[in-house]
Chains A and B, each alone.
Chain A
């Protein structure tokens, strides 16, 4: 390594309050979120922050929040799980199938979750056991689960499993906001605590940051990554069950593209797809909220939702640039 390179790698960004505000792991996305709120208030008006509107955004965010909170564990441990969207689709199809067979939702849910964790286990065996590339292995699982989902849904491509009791439960409101949205927020706060305060969280971050150093420190890298992948699959399963409850059905389109929606928001929120150990569930949730806010503004202004993709793309680019601004690997 040359002197120059060594100097660059050991360069410490000097402390500055403004820089801290812009480059903190959560503060930057919080700033973005506040900008979205301001744009919404100016452009849409007071309606943007009415409880009714927040409730609509919240309802739409329940599944991405749940899936994002759990998928974040895999990212933090240094493996990306591309199968989360398919896992949501598979889970909703399996759960809906059980309901149409007359199962009680409370019995169908744990069995569905077990099935999802089983497929998460296959991901773990491929990636941790056999050293497969996480992107390749989970891409394979994405395709396989999509196929299994299509088989479950049959030629009609959808299963109607509308259960009035479940629908009422999932769509229940507390203090004017959807109960499950509030639960998803609590879950996000809990996972954030888990990441920053628990031994498991610290181990996950350590493994993602530098697996060799973590191993030298006595952390079982394999065990941590297996747990992270199982948690990611569990989150996808949980999201699928909620989806089926919300929609009263499962369809081929369920969960399609969700992995990109969630990962784009997580990256905007401070996670990194290729570098573990970076990010916080609260940042990820704020990323999802910011994207949902943009989408809602366009909805309320009757502007084509296709523009959402352009804005999300720009936000993602901004997040990548911010990542470089804050020093990329050096920041960590």
Chain B
């Protein structure tokens, strides 16, 4: 059996070597600017795919070649994609990497090939940061929720629950912590014992068991305010409360606006902060990619506190969100707008 196996392998290797030596040198050189885009690839969120659609459309408008890959929410795949970008000869890369543990390796691979990288929302020292002013977004959302709690419960909820997403690091501290800060500005006398947290990982499905555990640990809590890293995290607590028949007294306020538009908005999600995630490419192209394509490489701004391009947050109540088109319509209108127009300018009802 082994001899036959080795014969087959040898035959295949010979074919492979002949083909590789015959074909490898025939690739034609490209002279057009080529943009690489690595989308997040997490099945949780439609906006991850839309980020690629907008980047592709902007690349086509600018006459650039475009290569899109999906990180598949997997660190090893994200690294493999970086290597494919090098092979494809891209001139710049945009990535959303929800598994940032591979960022140092990705940065090393792309830096060795002298390819600049834009990172959305999760900062890395070697990448241009394009993202939201997370702290401002957190505080704005917290204040709005505080006003609701003040009006409904006279600033006296049974619990204030934080849906954390610790892997996002400082972004989580800014967003979730910022919401707590904003809420405390309106309701400063909520006792420390009422502030509790659970790890939602920023995903409605993944965070569900931990949310259930938290509710089980506080069986008498009825009026509960929920803040969190993003809409998905906040929804994990709301969904758990619905499963346990305890959602009547739950008011959540999310971040990122991913689940606040459309026909199926959860009634307990009282509001969110729109980032208009799908339209980030407008910022990236305007402030980083466009200048690079024009031959002027901007200074590296990798810090989330001093970003290469800052996305404006747009806090909205669920009622206000009804006036905002759904994502597909927003993308269509964004791409029809003059170059450089942002979704904040087009759609935010609270400018």
Q: Which residues of A contact B (CB under 8 A)?
A: 24-27, 30, 33-34, 37, 41, 45-47, 49-56, 59-60, 63, 155-160, 162, 167, 192-193, 196-197, 243, 246-254, 280, 282-283, 299-300, 302, 304-305
Contact = CB atoms under 8 A, between A and B. Distances in A.
Given A50-B24, A156-B167, A249 B2 contact: no
B101 A160 contact: yes
A193 B24 CA distance: 33
Contacts of A282: 5-6, 9
A300 B73 CA distance: 18
A251 B102 CA distance: 9
B2 A196 contact: yes
A252 B20 contact: no
B9 A56 contact: no
Contacts of A63: 76
A53 B169 CA distance: 34
A327 to B, nearest CB: 16
Where chain A touches its partner, the secondary structure class is helix
Given A52-B87, A155-B199, A243 B76 contact: yes
B350 interface: no
A47 B27 contact: yes
A51 B20 contact: yes
Nearest to A54: B20
A280 B102 CA distance: 33
B75 interface: yes
A60 B5 CA distance: 24
A282 B9 CA distance: 8
A156 B15 contact: no
Contact of A49 (B24, B84, B169): B24
Contacts of B81: 299
Contacts of A167: 105, 108
Contact of A37 (B15, B75, B87, B166): B15
Nearest to A30: B8
Contact of B166 (A55, A156, A283): A156
Contact of B105 (A50, A54, A155, A249): A249
B2 A253 contact: no
Contact of B5 (A46, A47, A280): A280
6 contacts: A25-B5, A27-B8, A49-B23, A51-B20, A155-B166, A300-B84
Contacts of B315: none
B19 A49 contact: yes
A55 B80 CA distance: 10
Given A167-B108, A251-B75, A305-B72, A299 B84 contact: yes
A299 B84 CA distance: 9
A25 B75 contact: no
A193 B20 CA distance: 28
A242 B87 CA distance: 23
B69 interface: yes
B313 interface: no
B12 A34 contact: yes
Nearest to A41: B19
Question: Which of B9, B101, B102 neighbours the largest number of chain A CB atoms within 10 Å of its CB?
Answer: B101
B178 interface: no
